[in-house]
């Protein structure tokens, strides 16, 4: 039998972050003292009232199909969130709930892009974006940025990258992997270019609440009705409510795009898990007090790790004002990111993700969604590793 794999699937690279994570977990299972900076998920538990709502839903028999795009109750709660927090008016029919923010991104790209289309993605990027674009038979167009500009793409660079084939611009602020947060003025200026050029924006705002040092998040959709009409917002419950395993994300889109995504979803996944959606309603409507505590904890670790990294002579790291990642520059160690991470894991038992996975080979990604004790131990080892090079 010739197991021919479609060229679409054959062109994909499996997620390196997930691969590193499983390698580190395997080493741990073998009894090795591994410090993991690889994972992209909060180390806090899902707040109890959210779990209780899902448990109640199960006990109440809320275990059947829901509408493919999510329950009316949850879509209304999401529309209310956009109204109250972002000043954005969306009808529930413009909200589609999906099986994770990743799934929401995929739906948006597949609903809007096809062969011959170009999708502009600033690097360093979340590693799934270019792969999703390839799955849609479109072409990723990468704009490189460096730590010298805090990994920010300029309106000028964006304008230069637009061609008649440009379909989509992907904006992710706060950013995974760099933690970069664009100021409202910078977001508006990028949005202005897209409005002028008729380019749709996919704005991944999943880290919108994870901000430090007084950074402010403003959605690109919120600057004018034209900005909103050129934007699809992608979001999810994974990060700010620590619900990664629940698989719940959502998008807010202009009506025709929402309709297309609803059709895709109705023929692929159908609805996201029914009782998980009840938990999500509780997440949006319940107390948000957990977040202040998490942010305080994240900020302590961020400040410590940033200072510690910058005290290592061959490493420099810009101040990331959002999310829970650090993206230090390792160029002065003389190693490229894959070798740096492989040797770090091998010799020091510290797991980090090579920047090449995010399109930036002179950097590595460290997640500080781990305990202070782990951070202290891991950074000690990174310092030892760098000094021995």
Ligand X SMILES: *Cc1c(COP(=O)(O)O)cnc(C)c1O
Binding residues (CB under 6 A) for ligand X: these are 40, 100-102, 126, 172, 176, 204, 206, 236, 238-239, 244, 249
Which residues partner with 172 through β-bridges?
204
The SS3 call for residue 113 is coil
Q: Is 138 exposed, middle or buried (0-12, 13-18, 19+ CB in 10 A)?
A: buried
The SS3 call for residue 174 is coil
Give the nearest distance from C-beta 224 to ligand X in angstroms.
Answer: 25
Over its C-alpha atoms, the chain yields an Rg (Å, rounded) of 21
Nearer to ligand X, 333 or 367 (CB): 367
Nearer to ligand X, 247 or 349 (CB): 247
Helix axes 101-112, 128-135, angle to 10 degrees: 40
User: CA quadruple 240, 246, 251, 252: dihedral positive or negative?
Assistant: negative
Nearer to ligand X, 106 or 340 (CB): 106
Give the nearest distance from C-beta 248 to ligand X in angstroms.
Answer: 7
Distance CA 247, CA 261 (A): 17
In order of 43, 334, 368, the CA distances from 322 in angstroms are: 16, 28, 12
Contacts 24+ apart (CB under 8 A), 5-13: 8/134, 8/135, 8/137, 9/135, 11/134, 12/131, 12/134, 12/135, 13/131
Nearer to ligand X, 206 or 312 (CB): 206
Give the nearest distance from C-beta 204 to ligand X in angstroms.
Answer: 5
40-55 burial string, b = 16+ CB within 10 Å, else e? Answer: bebbeebbeebeebbe
Nearer to ligand X, 166 or 172 (CB): 172
Nearer to ligand X, 236 or 308 (CB): 236
| DSSP per-residue codes, 302-328 | HHHHHHHHHTSTT-B-----BTTEE--
Q: What letter does residue 11 receive in the DSSP assignment?
A: T
Nearer to ligand X, 79 or 238 (CB): 238
Give the nearest distance from C-beta 235 to ligand X in angstroms.
Answer: 8
Are the C-beta atoms of residues 203 and 171 closer than 8 Å to each other?
yes
Give the nearest distance from C-beta 115 to ligand X in angstroms.
Answer: 25
Nearer to ligand X, 66 or 98 (CB): 98
Give the nearest distance from C-beta 163 to ligand X in angstroms.
Answer: 25
Give the nearest distance from C-beta 388 to ligand X in angstroms.
Answer: 32
Give the nearest distance from C-beta 98 to ligand X in angstroms.
Answer: 9
């Amino acid at each position: 039998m010739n197991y021919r794999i479609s060229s679409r699937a054959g062109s994909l690279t499996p997620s390196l972050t997930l691969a590193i994570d499983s390698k580190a977990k395997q080493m741990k299972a073998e009894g090795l003292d591994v410090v993991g900076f690889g994972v992209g998920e909060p180390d806090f538990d899902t707040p109890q009232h959210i779990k209780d709502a899902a448990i109640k839903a199960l006990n109440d028999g809320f275990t059947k199909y829901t509408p493919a795009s999510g329950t009316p109750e949850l879509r209304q709660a999401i529309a209310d969130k956009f109204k109250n927090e972002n000043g954005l008016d969306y009808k529930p029919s413009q909200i589609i709930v999906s099986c994770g923010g990743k799934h929401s991104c995929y739906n948006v790209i597949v609903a809007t892009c096809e062969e011959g289309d170009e999708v502009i993605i600033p690097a360093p990027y979340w590693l799934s974006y270019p792969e999703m674009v390839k799955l849609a038979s479109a072409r990723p167009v990468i704009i490189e940025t460096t730590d010298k500009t805090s990994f920010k793409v300029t309106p000028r660079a964006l304008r230069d990258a637009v061609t008649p084939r440009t379909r989509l611009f992907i904006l992710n602020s706060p950013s995974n992997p760099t933690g970069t947060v664009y100021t409202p003025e910078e977001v508006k200026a990028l949005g202005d270019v897209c409005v002028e050029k008729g380019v749709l924006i996919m704005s991944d705002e999943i880290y919108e609440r994870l901000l430090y040092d007084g950074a402010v998040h403003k959605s690109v959709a919120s600057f004018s009705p034209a900005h909103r009409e050129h934007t699809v917002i992608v979001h999810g419950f994974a990060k700010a409510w620590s619900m990664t395993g629940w698989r719940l994300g959502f998008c807010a889109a202009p009506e025709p795009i929402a309709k297309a995504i609803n059709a895709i979803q109705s023929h692929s996944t159908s609805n996201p898990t029914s009782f998980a959606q009840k938990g999500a309603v509780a997440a949006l409507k319940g107390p948000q007090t957990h977040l202040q505590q998490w942010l305080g904890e994240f900020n302590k670790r961020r400040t410590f790790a940033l200072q510690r990294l910058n005290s290592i002579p061959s490493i420099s790291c810009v101040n990331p004002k959002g999310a829970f990642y650090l993206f230090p520059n390792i160029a002065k160690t003389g190693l490229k990111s894959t070798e740096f991470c492989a040797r770090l894991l091998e010799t020091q038992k510290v797991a980090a993700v090579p920047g090449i996975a995010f399109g930036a080979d002179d950097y590595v990604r460290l997640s500080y969604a781990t305990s202070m004790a782990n951070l202290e131990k891991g950074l000690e080892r990174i310092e030892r590793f760098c000094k021995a090079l």
